[in-house]
Chains A and B, each alone.
Chain A
Amino acid sequence: MDKIARIDMGAAGGPKVTVGGLGDYAGLGGRAMTSLMVAAEVHPLAHPLGAENKLVISPGMLSGTTGSMTGRLSVGCKSPLTGTIKESNAGGQAAQVLARLGYAAVVLEGKPATDDIYKIYINKDGIQVIMDNSLKLMNNYPVIEKLRKEYGDKVAYMSIGSAGERKLLSASIACTDPELRPTRHCGRGGVGAVMGAKGIKAIILDDAGMKMRPPKDPEKYRDANRKFVEGLRKHPVTGEGLPAYGTNVLTNVLNEAGGYPTNNFKSGQFAKASDLSGETQAALEISRGGNATHGCHRGCVIQCSGIYNDKDGNYVTKQPEYETVWSHGGHCGISNLDTVAKLDYMDDNIGVDTIEMGVTIGVAMDAGLAEFGDDAGAIRLMEEVEKGTPLGRVLGSGAAITGKVFGVERVPVVKDQALPAYDPRAVQGIGVTYATTTQGADHTAGYAIATNILKVGGDVDPLKTEGQIELSRNLQIATAAIDSTGMCLFIAFAIMDQPETFQALLDMLGSFHGIEMTGDDVVALGKKVLSAERDFNTRAGFTKHHDRLPRFFYNEPIAPHNQTFMMKDEELDEVFNW
């Protein structure tokens, strides 16, 4: 990964490709690359859909190697949904292929003068930007089917659906999985709308003739990777729970904790949660000839995904994740997994974020557009988005817009991005991260990343009240660093509980780049990324007053614990004091 490609879509005479060295961005990947580049090169007051914004696509620091779990792809820009800086990442094959092609980043710049749409083909010989208006307003599954006839099956695809072309604020960017299905999405923040604004419909990544990226110290890298994989396989979460049930294993647990937001955050428990649980879902998938254990990219040993078939054994969608099952399920009072699976397919096909879309439908239900528990009503609302009707465009622009248009008070967003599937009144600590993250409400911004081992911020007593602020800060720092490596966040549990597995990760990073890597280096990287993101947001006009949850979380107690969100503003303001 020794080069950066810049594609100016607004260049005179048509798109212009420039390939250069890494310059100030040497050694970066993933979120570190996208955020530091956006912070340095995008005007903070730029219109997110205008020529001044940039869409930065970057594989992780270890992507394209033989290392396990290294397949995350980061996409960054100024978000049209939040107005903040944005990094959204996904699995799938794209990161591995782009890294093997040698690109640390592909940057889409400028804005085309016409409504023509383009596809980008990248292989060992270079980059072509090709006008292809035959793809206009196609959705992701048919787009990939069409492109496969031209480019075959030994490539990776990235694409946007009709939502991205329509510049809807919940639009995502799809990455294909090993079976070339567009099921893995950079979902959050409307990054698909930015790609649509650049006039790019699809990117075809062809690494024929390219080899795996070689480590500086191959023997040490191989040994570290072996220990890393052993650690993942022996841990009960990464070696057993996630492979067996996927992330949806959380449904029962969150519901039991009273932290499962139900009917647009009116209750912390859903009476029919067990109908939606990962345990139920896995049994159903297996009984229908699907698969409850499946990887989103080659080289994944956790295999937390799956294949969801209908009752006749026909493919419907990939295994919906916990956040999706919640947003389209309990959040909307829906308990039918087949309905959730259909909505998940529609999300992937139209190209919208499943969290934003599900939360939006729940807000729309509060507005009276459908009843809670109305499966057909939820599907009907999604069809409006698919058709691009005026109502569909409102819904596709997210929960905040929908709440404003229909006069709904209970709108669960921070910085206009929908909250994920954990009620901050039950789990107060995660509310700290929702409120203060640079990205808008995001459950992955402060993941359970080994802060105990890293000693980020020194030793924290987790049983003290003030520990919630410190823990959130430390989690956000550590997560920013891991998001830069290209590693899947689900490695978190093995490296949190097993120091030898964390050391193996450090050894992978160090031996690949020929340096000694310590926990301090990881912390420094995380702080550097977060500082750049915070600085961008400040220049974009965000203040501490944006680092708050919506007022209803402070005013409306939620069952079964009858708690409100109790963290004081002054405490929230301490999160980024380091």
Chain B
Amino acid sequence: METLVKQPATDQTTIRPLEKRLALQLAPDRLNAFFPLLQRGVTVPAIMGCSLRSLLCDQFAIPSDYVTDRITTIFINNRPLDDLDTTIIEDGLRVTLSAAMPGLVGATMRRGGFYAALRQGISHVGSNRQTADEMGVVRLKLFNLLLPELGPLILARGLLLEQDELDELLMRLPELSLHNPNGTGRTHLSATFGE
């Protein structure tokens, strides 16, 4: 594999390809460039077979109280979810995280909310089914307030980008003089943000 690593510090962030891994160090204001991708969803490697709560708290290292108080709206495969503990992570699962939303329907979508009955036909039903404890991927989306708050954490941990996703991202980061590996397949990207 090729690796794309950041070159020694210059006045401009640049990277060069060595293998198909991309590790970026960017200025904090470049975080916005990742928001379109994170809204649409990114592929994140994870260990399968655990509960959603464990995925968020143990694997993604999101503080427990943040999960409880801030991530108030969650969708699993397009279904609003009420119980984090009975949802088991399987390969290819689509996980969408959002803060509290306005409107009656926003309130309706809330996890365990008072108006959950209004959407009961589409609610996610959990299971206790155990799956193998092996690596897989989830498709993760972040919405609204969680974009700036969880984006850095997810990006630092790393995600897998298809070629078209990487191309789009690099268009939003024109300051990177990246020698783009022209090939197909995924790139493992991680990014950290700081001065």
- Chain A residues whose CB sits within 8 angstroms of the CB of B145 once the complex forms: 236, 240-241, 244
Q: Is B158 an interface residue (CB 8 A)?
A: no
Q: Is B108 an interface residue (CB 8 A)?
A: yes
Interface residues of B in 79-127 (CB under 8 A from A): 79-80, 96, 98-109, 113-122
| Interface segment out of the listed B14-22, B34-42, B186-194 | B34-42
| Interface segment out of the listed B4-12, B46-54, B56-64, B70-78 | B70-78
- Chain B residues whose CB sits within 8 angstroms of the CB of A577 once the complex forms: none
Render A178-211 as a binary contact track against B, CB cut-off 8 A, 1 for contact.
0000000000000000000000000000000000
Minimal beta-carbon separation of B178 from chain A (angstroms):
23
Q: Are the CB atoms of B144 and A493 closer together than 8 Å?
A: no
Docked Cα-Cα span, A246 to B120, in Å, equals 27
Render A412-448 as a binary contact track against B, CB cut-off 8 A, 1 for contact.
0000000000100011111001000000000100111
Q: Are the CB atoms of A467 and B117 closer together than 8 Å?
A: yes
| Nearest CB in chain B to that of A447: its residue | B104
11 residue pairs bridging A and B, Cβ less than 8 Å apart: A237-B100, A247-B103, A256-B143, A274-B36, A280-B36, A428-B119, A429-B117, A430-B104, A448-B104, A493-B102, A496-B107
Q: Are the CB atoms of A236 and B118 closer together than 8 Å?
A: no
Minimal beta-carbon separation of B117 from chain A (angstroms):
4
Q: Are the CB atoms of A563 and B121 closer together than 8 Å?
A: yes
- Chain A residues whose CB sits within 8 angstroms of the CB of B36 once the complex forms: 274, 280
Docked Cα-Cα span, A560 to B124, in Å, equals 13
- Chain B residues whose CB sits within 8 angstroms of the CB of A250 once the complex forms: 101-103, 105-106
List of 6 A-B pairs having minimum Cβ-Cβ separation, nearest first: A429-B118, A448-B107, A467-B117, A462-B117, A448-B104, A452-B114
| Nearest CB in chain A to that of B113: its residue | A462
- Chain B residues whose CB sits within 8 angstroms of the CB of A468 once the complex forms: 117-118, 120
Q: Are the CB atoms of A279 and B147 closer together than 8 Å?
A: yes
Q: Is B32 an interface residue (CB 8 A)?
A: yes
Q: Are the CB atoms of A257 and B115 closer together than 8 Å?
A: no
Take A462-B117, A566-B121 as given contacts and tell me if A236 and B103 are in contact as well, using a CB distance cutoff of 8 Å.
Answer: no
Q: Are the CB atoms of B121 and A561 closer together than 8 Å?
A: yes
Q: Are the CB atoms of B103 and A464 closer together than 8 Å?
A: no
Q: Are the CB atoms of A252 and B39 closer together than 8 Å?
A: yes
Not counting A252-B141, A472-B118, a sample of 19 additional A-B residue pairs whose C-beta atoms are within 8 angstroms of each other reads A236-B99, A237-B100, A241-B145, A242-B102, A250-B102, A250-B103, A250-B105, A256-B143, A258-B78, A259-B105, A279-B143, A427-B105, A429-B108, A429-B118, A430-B105, A430-B118, A447-B103, A448-B103, A468-B118
Docked Cα-Cα span, A277 to B36, in Å, equals 10
| Nearest CB in chain B to that of A449: its residue | B104
Take A252-B39, A496-B107 as given contacts and tell me if A241 and B101 are in contact as well, using a CB distance cutoff of 8 Å.
Answer: yes
| Nearest CB in chain A to that of B105: its residue | A422
- Chain B residues whose CB sits within 8 angstroms of the CB of A422 once the complex forms: 105
Q: Are the CB atoms of B104 and A256 closer together than 8 Å?
A: no
- Chain B residues whose CB sits within 8 angstroms of the CB of A461 once the complex forms: 117
Q: Are the CB atoms of B119 and A427 closer together than 8 Å?
A: yes
Residue from the list A280, A464, A490 in contact with B117, Cβ < 8 A:
A464
Interface of A is mostly: helix
Q: Is A396 an interface residue (CB 8 A)?
A: no
- Chain A residues whose CB sits within 8 angstroms of the CB of B73 once the complex forms: 253
- Chain B residues whose CB sits within 8 angstroms of the CB of A446 once the complex forms: 104
- Chain A count of residues within 8 A CB distance of the other chain: 57
Q: Are the CB atoms of B119 and A253 closer together than 8 Å?
A: no
Minimal beta-carbon separation of A1 from chain B (angstroms):
29
| Nearest CB in chain A to that of B39: its residue | A274
- Chain B count of residues within 8 A CB distance of the other chain: 40
| Nearest CB in chain A to that of B69: its residue | A236
Docked Cα-Cα span, A258 to B75, in Å, equals 10
Most chain B beta-carbon neighbours within 10 Å: one of A252, A447, A560: A252
Residue from the list B32, B72, B98, B101 in contact with A283, Cβ < 8 A:
B32
Q: Are the CB atoms of B119 and A257 closer together than 8 Å?
A: yes
Minimal beta-carbon separation of B107 from chain A (angstroms):
4
Docked Cα-Cα span, A417 to B18, in Å, equals 61
Docked Cα-Cα span, A257 to B98, in Å, equals 12
| Nearest CB in chain A to that of B119: its residue | A427
Docked Cα-Cα span, A256 to B100, in Å, equals 14
- Chain B residues whose CB sits within 8 angstroms of the CB of A249 once the complex forms: 101-102, 143-144
Render A269-286 as a binary contact track against B, CB cut-off 8 A, 1 for contact.
100001001111001000
Docked Cα-Cα span, A235 to B131, in Å, equals 39
Docked Cα-Cα span, A274 to B35, in Å, equals 10
| Nearest CB in chain B to that of A238: its residue | B102
Most chain A beta-carbon neighbours within 10 Å: one of B32, B40, B75, B115: B115
Minimal beta-carbon separation of B28 from chain A (angstroms):
15
Q: Is A385 an interface residue (CB 8 A)?
A: no
Docked Cα-Cα span, A483 to B6, in Å, equals 57
Minimal beta-carbon separation of B9 from chain A (angstroms):
28
Docked Cα-Cα span, A464 to B117, in Å, equals 6
Q: Is A254 an interface residue (CB 8 A)?
A: yes
Q: Are the CB atoms of A241 and B39 closer together than 8 Å?
A: no
Minimal beta-carbon separation of A243 from chain B (angstroms):
11
Q: Are the CB atoms of A448 and B115 closer together than 8 Å?
A: yes
Residue from the list B32, B39, B106, B109 in contact with A237, Cβ < 8 A:
B106
Q: Are the CB atoms of A257 and B122 closer together than 8 Å?
A: yes
Take A247-B103, A258-B78, A447-B104 as given contacts and tell me if A471 and B121 are in contact as well, using a CB distance cutoff of 8 Å.
Answer: no
Q: Is A114 an interface residue (CB 8 A)?
A: no
Docked Cα-Cα span, A256 to B72, in Å, equals 15
Q: Is A543 an interface residue (CB 8 A)?
A: no
Q: Are the CB atoms of B118 and A279 closer together than 8 Å?
A: no
Docked Cα-Cα span, A283 to B31, in Å, equals 12
Q: Are the CB atoms of A493 and B39 closer together than 8 Å?
A: no
Take A249-B102, A446-B104, A448-B104 as given contacts and tell me if A426 and B119 are in contact as well, using a CB distance cutoff of 8 Å.
Answer: yes
Docked Cα-Cα span, A236 to B35, in Å, equals 20
Take A253-B73, A256-B75 as given contacts and tell me if A427 and B100 are in contact as well, using a CB distance cutoff of 8 Å.
Answer: no
Q: Is A475 an interface residue (CB 8 A)?
A: yes
- Chain B residues whose CB sits within 8 angstroms of the CB of A274 once the complex forms: 36, 39-40
- Chain B residues whose CB sits within 8 angstroms of the CB of A448 once the complex forms: 103-104, 106-108, 115
- Chain B residues whose CB sits within 8 angstroms of the CB of A465 once the complex forms: 117, 120
Q: Is A245 an interface residue (CB 8 A)?
A: yes
Residue from the list A247, A427, A560, A561 in contact with B108, Cβ < 8 A:
A427
- Chain B residues whose CB sits within 8 angstroms of the CB of A242 once the complex forms: 102
Minimal beta-carbon separation of B94 from chain A (angstroms):
9
- Chain A residues whose CB sits within 8 angstroms of the CB of B103 once the complex forms: 247, 250, 322, 443, 447-448
Minimal beta-carbon separation of A219 from chain B (angstroms):
32
Minimal beta-carbon separation of B163 from chain A (angstroms):
19
Render A339-378 as a binary contact track against B, CB cut-off 8 A, 1 for contact.
0000000000000000000000000000000000000000
